[in-house]
Amino acid sequence: MTKWLVAAALLFAAASPARAADPGLPTSALTQLRHVIGTWEVRTEYLNPDGSVARAVDGTYDFEWMIPDRLARGTSHIPALEQVSAILFYLRPAVHEVEMVSVGKDGDLWVMTGKDSEEVRTTPDRAMSDGSTMRLRFTRYDVQPDRFNSKMEYSTDSGKNWTQGNRQTFVRRKR
C-alpha cells in the first residue's frame, strides 16, 4: 500500500505545474508544509466523550520533502500502540486545497482535505461496519516556530455536531 501511495504522489507531482517562481502557490498552505518539515516529539491524548483524557501516548512524526514546496512525506511512530503510519502532505493549487493522506498498519487510507488558506482538514464521510458514518476533522492551532497543537474531532451526523477525539502537542526535536 505504501508503494502505491508513493507512486500516486509521484504521478500527482508529474501532473502538477513546475514550482519554480510559481506565484499561484498559496502562501498559508506553503507555510504549513515548510513548517512541518523535520522531526517532532508528539504527545497524543485520546479523549473520552466528556473531554477527559482516556489515554496519553508519546511518539514521533518525521516529515521530509519529496518535491520541495509541493509534497512532503512523513511517518508517524507511536510505540505504545505499536502503530506506524505513512503520510503524504501536499498542495493542490489548481483547486486551492491542501491535502494529507495517511495509512496505518490496518491498511485504512484516510484523506483529509482543506482550503489552502486554513489550518483545517476534513475527511469525507466513511461508512462504518455498523451502518453509521464517521467524518473526521483535524485542526492545527497555536502554531509557533518549534511547536504547535492539533486536535481531531469526529462527527457521526455528516458534520452537524462534532466530538473531540484527541489532541496532540508537537514539539520540534532539537538537532
The domains of the chain are located at 2-13+24-172
**Phi and psi at residue 30, to the nearest 5°:** -65, -40
Q: Give pTM, 2 decimals.
A: 0.82
**What would you report as the CA-atom Rg of the chain, rounded to the nearest whole angstrom?**
16
Q: How far apart are CA 32 and CA 104, in angstroms?
A: 23
Mean pLDDT for the stretch of residues 138-143: 95
CATH numeric code, 2-13+24-172: 2.40.128.20
Whole-number average pLDDT of the chain = 86
Closest C-alpha among 35, 64, 71 to residue 146: 35
Q: What is the pLDDT of residue 20?
A: 38
> Quick one: what percent of the chain has pLDDT higher than 90?
75
Quick: pLDDT tens for 13-62.
333 333 333 455 557 889 999 999 999 999 999 999 899 999 999 999 99
pLDDT at 119 over 90: yes
Q: What is the pLDDT of residue 29?
A: 86
